[in-house]
Amino acid sequence: MAIRYSDVGRTYACFRRCGMLTISGNDWLQKSLKKLTRRSGMGSSAAAGARPVTAGSPKRSSARKRATTRLNEDEIYRRIYSAVLYHRLQPGTKLKEVALAEVFGANRSVVRKVLMRLAHNRLVALRPNRGAVVASPTVEESRDLFAARRVVEAAIVDATTRKIVPPELKALRALAASERDAYRRGELRQGLKLSLNFHQRLAAIGGNGVLAEFLDQLIARTPLVLLAYRGRGTDTACSNDEHLHIVEAIAGGDGAGAVAAMTAHLENLEGQLHLDDEAQPPTDLGTLFAAGED
């Protein structure tokens, strides 16, 4: 499986920013990426990045009260996370605690915990004395993210090609076909959900839980890049046929072909971005969450 060293260097930088290399048990990944980064000619300065914001320990309370608060907190987190994942929150949108507490019927302390969790996953930026905003990836971070996805998903499709069994292949082909049909019917939101599910299904079949975890984090941040840098009038959704091309390569047992198809797919998606475009306008939170949709 051929991997470009330039992508490896950017992957190391992206993983450092995400805090992925601090995960227990991933020392092997850190050492491997450092070695490949040196071979690619990229020094440690290129791989340096900000560490994620970590949430503080919540105050002690009774088990019953903690469970009630946790459920409400998780629901709010899921709603905001989904809004980012499905392209409904623009980068730079202010996330005011008072406004969110009113929209969700929660107290500000719960909202604050949610924002800290989102910041830990680098979906939100916490600005001292200015509050929280939806994260706005820089051009360099955006390039690093796609480079990381190419490395991670190349390994995933290579493993999937070797491990997939007929029932899984049948389900994967049906998923890709359903996605294509949804886009053809103009059901963009459904097509997007199926597209994300396709990439996650490949990771599940590949069987490497660490790579699957990395991919989930990268996928969650990708919409922020697409929304920040897409050209006006440009559809940055996955191509109707590119996922099917990946499936056919996997079905033929062609690992190299599957890697090439996935790499071309991600390069095509990145190639649709206009990195010199002005940022899109922020999202109105009241309008977005008032309808109660995910």
For the chain, give the mean pLDDT. Answer: 80
What share of the chain has pLDDT > 70, as a percent?
Answer: 66
Cα 136 from Cα 122, distance rounded (Å): 10
SS3 for 70-134 is HHHHHHHHHHHHHHHHCCCCCCCCEECHHHHHHHHCCCHHHHHHHHHHHHHCCCEEEECCCEEEE
Quote the pLDDT of residue 264: 97
Domain regions of the chain by residue span? 5-47, 63-136+283-290, 139-271
Architecture of domain 63-136+283-290 in this structure: Orthogonal Bundle (1.10)
Q: pLDDT for 13-49, tens place per residue?
A: 665 665 555 444 455 455 555 554 454 454 444 444 4
| Structure-token pair, residue 141 | 């971070």
Mean pLDDT on 77-88? 93
Model confidence, pTM? 0.71
Distance CA 52, CA 237 (A): 28
Token pair recorded at residue 235: 């559809």
Instruction: Please report, for residues 22, 47, 92, 134, 152, the alpha-carbon distance to residue 140 in angstroms, rounded to integers and kept in the order given.
Output: 21, 11, 17, 18, 18
Ranges of H-type helices in the chain: 5-18, 27-40, 44-47, 63-85, 97-104, 108-120, 139-163, 166-184, 188-206, 209-229, 242-251, 255-271, 285-290
Phi/psi at 215 (5° precision): -65, -40
Question: What's the pLDDT score for residue 68?
Answer: 40
Q: Which CATH number fits domain 139-271: 1.20.120.920, 1.20.1560.10, 3.30.70.150, 1.20.120.530?
A: 1.20.120.530
Dump pLDDT digits (tens) for 222-240: 999 999 898 654 555 566 6
Q: Given the DSSP bridges, would you call strands 124-127 and 131-134 parallel, antiparallel or unpaired? A: antiparallel
Q: What is the predicted pLDDT for the residue at 59? A: 47
Q: What is the pLDDT of residue 274?
A: 80
Is a pLDDT exceeding 90 seen at residue 159?
A: yes
Q: Does residue 175 register a pLDDT over 70?
A: yes
